[in-house]
Structure 1
Amino acid sequence: MNGRAKAPAAGTVLNALATGIGSAFAIDEYTTAEVTLDDSDGIRGEIADAPNADTRLIERCVESVLDFADADRSLGGTVRTESDVPMASGLKSSSAAANATVLATLSALDVEMEREDACRLGVRAARDVGVTATGAFDDASASMLGGVTVTDNNRDELLARKEVSWDVLVFTPPEQAFSSDADVSRCRRVAPMAELVADLALDGEYGRAMTVNGFAFCGALGFPTDPLLSALPDVDGVSLSGTGPSFVAVGGREVLEDVQERWESLEGTTWLTTTQSDGTRTI
């Protein structure tokens, strides 16, 4: 029994660490999962090009789907992911891996499930293995459903979703930042700003929301604001993505190309992409 799926990465509009309300948008970079189920003992995970990486999340996602489907308890197998998304970069690689794994496992079992519910399975798996500080339903919903979403992560509730068509610029420094290591207490200090960002996002003011979020969470998490300032006032919105270290900006293509030239003077990698509205799909 085999299944394959691919899930998009995502950028941040609002970090949910301050209040539990978060917002993210899917981008056109992908993580692919392949699941093979057989009569072997247990679930074994593998992450391409990262032989020492933690595979507990993708293994737990397979197990969660098997439990949901009330599958034969003797089933084991393998799950392998490969990704264009750098790990621990703030671009929701864990959410994409979980979403792709869940849909690939459902496909292997030939079981159907609403995508929003499938997303929640992956979120619960992430909480089970401790790779998220918020449950990341905002990130996971954007990756699973596509477009931009606003969520209440305390209740795993989708508050809003909209399809968008944006050009996106991404800057990723060489260091990594694991969301589970983020200082939640410092993030909660910027809760008034996060509440403002949530209001802007729910009103469809995504660019302004991103920019306020970026300055607030750069301060809370100790990241430099230079990438934000060098993108303003030209872009429609710019933010630290997730708990960093990546930054994302949205705006006109020519404007983003100019910002890319400025960001390329910083140590790291930049690339231009677009938003994605289809979400996670079996392949």
Structure 2
Amino acid sequence: MIERASCRGAVTIVNAIPTGIGSAMGIMLQLDAEVRLSQDDGSVRLEGTEEGTDLVRGCIEGVGKRAGMRDLSGIVTIRSDIPVSRGLKSSSAASNAVVLAASRALNIHMSDEEIIGLAIDESIKAGVTVTGAFDDASACFHGGAVITDNKARRILKRWHVQDPVTVLLHVPERRIRKEDVKNMDFSPVISQVKEAIESALKGDYPRAMELNSKACSKILDVSEEVAEAARRSGAIAAGISGTGPATAVLVRHEDIGRIMDILESFDGTIISAELNDTPAREVVPRRS
């Protein structure tokens, strides 16, 4: 039983850790998953990446249980453009894609809500999320932008960003693991993050990104220098994505070259991506 599925990444508008309310928008960095399944000894081997074995194993087991199949074994091959542990939703994209591919391989129908729900459950078990990341998983799976109540797993608002923009990502070498974030106290910035949520609900996502980034950077000990430089240079929006350390910068097409030059003055890799509005079910997996 062999099947493939894909899911794309996302960037943060508002971090859900302080309040349980989060917001994210999809971007066109793609992750492809191929699953080869059989009923054997229950072992699952991950190829193509060194990280995420527990998450992938949990996703395969979860889909197997829904299909009434125990001791489901598999080889899962991941091909991804999304940098890991930088705040660009690599775990959400991986869990979504693996669950979708496994459901296809076992020929069982799962609704969008069931796929995202199982992906989140296994992400929590694997320790790769602090809040459950319903906002991230939803933006990755559905595309477009979302505001969500992560505790209730409910989408509060969903829309497509109409601005003709490109996303420039400044990605430092440093990685931030979720275990490093779990015990951080975000209570000092809750009021600022709530203001960011209100801005996002009103449709002012650039202000929401800025307020969120300025607030959360203090707790995460991640520099806002790149975001500040981008804003001064005319970016539509800029802010730290997730728990960082990557910074997402939304720019008008005519400003790409100028702002790219500014971002390149900082240590790190620059990645250019368009916004993604395509749901995971419609994304065509690339052939290796």
- What TM-score do you get using the length of structure 1 for normalisation? 0.94
SS at match of 2:186: helix
The Cα shift of 1:279 comes to 2.6
Amino acid at match of 1:238: A
Matches within 5 A, 1:223-242: 223-233=222-232, 234-242=234-242
Query: Corresponding residue for 2:169?
Result: 170
Q: Which sections of structure 2, spanning at least 5 residues, go unmatched?
A: none
Higher mean displacement: 165-174 or 84-93: 165-174
Change beyond 3 A, Cα 1:74–1:122: same
Higher mean displacement: 39-48 or 215-224: 39-48
Matches within 5 A, 1:53-202: 53-70=51-68, 72-165=69-162, 166-182=165-181, 184-202=183-201
Change beyond 3 A, Cα 1:164–1:45: farther
Could you tell me how far apart the structure 2 residues matched to 1:180 and 1:14 are?
A: 20
**C-alpha offsets along residues 136-167 of structure 1, whole Å, 9 cap, x if unaligned?**
11100000110001111111111111122532
**C-alpha offsets along residues 150-205 of structure 1, whole Å, 9 cap, x if unaligned?**
11111111111112253211110011111332155432321111111111111111
Does the Cα contact within 8 Å between 2:184 and 2:219 map onto a contact in 1? Answer: no
Change beyond 3 A, Cα 1:176–1:192: same
Amino acid at match of 1:61: C
SS at match of 2:7: strand
The Cα shift of 1:37 comes to 1.1
SS at match of 1:266: coil
Amino acid at match of 1:253: H
The Cα shift of 1:40 comes to 2.4
Higher mean displacement: 181-190 or 114-123: 181-190
Query: Corresponding residue for 1:30?
Result: 30
Query: Corresponding residue for 2:21?
Result: 21
SS at match of 2:156: strand
Does the Cα contact within 8 Å between 2:239 and 2:249 map onto a contact in 1? Answer: yes
Do residues 253 (structure 1) and 253 (structure 2) align? yes
Could you tell me how far apart the structure 1 residues matched to 2:161 and 2:67 are?
A: 34
Does the Cα contact within 8 Å between 1:143 and 1:280 map onto a contact in 2? Answer: yes
Could you tell me how far apart the structure 1 residues matched to 2:276 and 2:126 are?
A: 28
- What TM-score do you get using the length of structure 2 for normalisation? 0.93
Change beyond 3 A, Cα 1:158–1:184: farther
Does the Cα contact within 8 Å between 1:137 and 1:153 map onto a contact in 2? Answer: yes
Q: Which sections of structure 1, spanning at least 5 residues, go unmatched?
A: none
The Cα shift of 1:26 comes to 0.7
**C-alpha offsets along residues 211-255 of structure 1, whole Å, 9 cap, x if unaligned?**
111111111111112101111141111110000010001130222
Change beyond 3 A, Cα 1:184–1:275: farther
Q: Which runs of 4+ in 1 moved over 3 A?
A: none
Query: Corresponding residue for 1:209?
Result: 208
Could you tell me how far apart the structure 1 residues matched to 2:237 and 2:141 are?
A: 23
Query: Corresponding residue for 1:268?
Result: 268
Higher mean displacement: 180-189 or 252-261: 180-189
Does the Cα contact within 8 Å between 2:47 and 2:75 map onto a contact in 1? Answer: no
RMSD: 1.5
SS at match of 2:24: strand
Does the Cα contact within 8 Å between 1:168 and 1:256 map onto a contact in 2? Answer: no
Could you tell me how far apart the structure 2 residues matched to 1:29 and 1:108 are?
A: 24
